[in-house]
Amino acid sequence: MAEHLELGYAVTSHRAQGVTVDASHVLAGTSTIRENFYVAMTRGSHANHAYIATDRPDAAHDDIPSSATGRSIIAEILQHTGAQLSAHETIIAEQGNWTGVAQLAAEYETLAAAAQRDRWERLIQASGLTPEEADDAIASPAFGPLTAELRRAEADNHNVQSLLPALVRARAFGDADDIAAVLHHRVARATSRPSGAGRTRNTPRLIAGLIPEATGVIDREMADALTERQALIESRAHALLDAALADGQSWTAHLSRPPEHPQTRKAWRRCLLTVAAYRDRYAITGQLPLGSPAQSDTQRIDAGRASAALGRAQKLADPVRVPADPPIRPAPSRAQPRL
């Protein structure tokens, strides 16, 4: 068998920067810092797994209780940055990649997946699947994407508590290889549009118009960590939009004149906030507001949200009025003489 084996070695997150593998297995603990954890957890193209050591106290983090859990340690990791910066460097860093929308959104979604996992497991178990089917779905690699889709559906005001059982009853799974993947597809199709229509449609619960909010989080530490990331994302998007409008960045040339009415102007800014967040999340720097076509499913969803927000902003903006030519009235027709 020797010719079919290849030696593998563990590497540090510093050495792993720029490396892409099929699956990443990360050992983290109380001494892990946020930057290294993010690098390590984004190396795998198909899967990224974190193994949290809860039995290794660290003198540098003596505020972590001995009863710490994997979730609480992850929350603590995301709170700690490893760089010791001067005041000036801190200001610069706040505007850099580690506090960009891409980084903060990744942190938020990682926390949301951990914070809501128990809830989604209970929903799967009560959905009408057999115990064996439920266990298979929860153990599936597609369980993560399924729970992300459920969070998106709930943010779009769909009642997932009744939706998922209905989708389970709708059609038997037969010899489906992956029930979680099938459910993911069914949920995505059933919730492709926000719940409600017309005046009854509620506003989706999206952070900066892009990231679905995680609801029903019971763990206080997780809830606080999610709230903090949400505030940072919104603050970052506001700062980016202010800078873009003040500096007259090229992409803002595509915008119409801001509305004068205060309430309308507020709604206009809210729409453009989504565009600014989208540009930052996907590192768009060109003149077109939304840049090049989306490259992934997640980006395509976000691009649709940003495009819709841009369209709403254009409708809210005050048009540049061009004097219209007076209407031309057709000459009255004359009745033809009867022969």
For 67-86, what is each residue's pLDDT tens digit? 678 777 777 777 666 655 55
Q: Examine the domain organization and report whether 191 and 133 are in the same domain.
A: yes
Asked if residue 190 has pLDDT above 50, the reply is: yes
Taking a C-beta distance cutoff of 8 angstroms, is the pair 77, 32 a contact?
A: yes
With left for phi above 0 and alpha for psi between -120 and 50, is residue 148 left, alpha or beta?
Answer: alpha
Residue 165: exposure state from Cβ atoms within 10 A (0-12, 13-18, ≥19): middle
Q: Which of 195, 229, 262 is the last residue before a domain boundary?
A: 195
- Looking at the domain assignment, is residue 258 inside a domain? yes
Q: Report the C-alpha gap between 52 and 133 in whole angstroms.
A: 28
Task: Specify whether 126 is located in the same domain as 166.
Answer: yes
- For 17-50, write each residue's pLDDT tens digit: 555 667 778 888 777 877 678 777 777 767 788 8
Amino acid at 91: I
Please tell me whether residues 148 and 79 are part of one structural domain. no
DSSP string, 30-61: TT--HHHHHHHTT-EEEEEEEEE--S---GGG
Whole-number percent of the chain with pLDDT over 90: 49
Res 323: pLDDT:
44
When comparing pLDDT for 222 and 196, which is higher? 222
Would residue 299 count as lying in a domain?
A: yes
> Do 128 and 60 sit in the same domain of this protein?
no
pLDDT given for residue 132 in this prediction: 93
Q: Is residue 214 part of a domain?
A: no
Closest CA to 287 of 253, 246, 239, 243: 253
Check residue 266 and give its pLDDT.
Answer: 93
Q: In this structure, is residue 4 part of a structural domain?
A: no
Residue 324's pLDDT is what?
43
Residues 127, 65 share a domain = no
Is residue 273 within 8 A of residue 240, CB to CB? The reply is: no
Q: Are residues 118 and 79 in the same domain?
A: no
Please report, for residues 17, 47, 84, 162, the alpha-carbon distance to residue 13 in angstroms, rounded to integers and kept in the order given. 6, 16, 19, 43
User: What pLDDT band is residue 66 in, cutting at 50, 70 and 90?
Assistant: low
Predicted TM-score of the model (pTM)? 0.66
pLDDT digits (tens, 9 = 90+) for 106-125: 999 999 999 999 999 999 99
Given a cut of 50, whether residue 322 has pLDDT beyond it is no
State what percent of residues in the chain have pLDDT above 70.
74
Of 195, 216, 237, which one is at a domain's C-terminal end?
A: 195
Q: Which residues pair with residue 49 across a beta bridge?
A: 25
pLDDT value of position 148: 93
How do residues 235-284 score in pLDDT, each as one tens digit? 999 999 999 999 999 998 878 788 888 999 999 999 999 999 999 999 99
Residue 197 has pLDDT above 50, yes or no: yes
**How many structural domains is the chain composed of?**
3
User: What's the mean pLDDT when you consider all of the chain?
Assistant: 81
Task: Read off the pLDDT of residues 126-154 as tens digits, 9 standing for 90 and up.
Answer: 999 999 999 999 999 999 999 999 999 99
Residue 223 banded pLDDT, cuts 50, 70, 90:
very high
Q: Which domain holds residue 308?
A: 248-316
